[in-house]
Amino acid sequence: MKRIGKAIIEFLLTFVLALVVTSIVSVLWNLIVHGQGTVDWATSFRFGIVLGILLPWMNARNRKKH
């Protein structure tokens, strides 16, 4: 049960961080290229979910090896 809670917290932290960073990059890209400060929320959520799953999983695998 303790591992599941830790995994959920790692997922949430990674998801939020990836969501924020991707949103900022999206706004900056759209400002520079299109002259509009819009966020591509679909891409931001996709990156957040994918990285939220992959990074904690890879960290857990590395911890098991050592």
**What would the pLDDT profile of 3-58 be if each residue is shown by its tens digit?**
889 989 999 999 999 999 999 999 999 999 999 989 999 999 999 999 999 999 99
Answer for the pair 47, 40: CB distance below 8 angstroms, yes or no: no
pLDDT reported for residue 66? 79
DSSP state of 1: -
DSSP state of 49: H
pLDDT reported for residue 2? 85
pLDDT reported for residue 1? 72
The model's pTM is 0.86
Within the chain, what is the greatest distance between any pair of CA atoms? 49
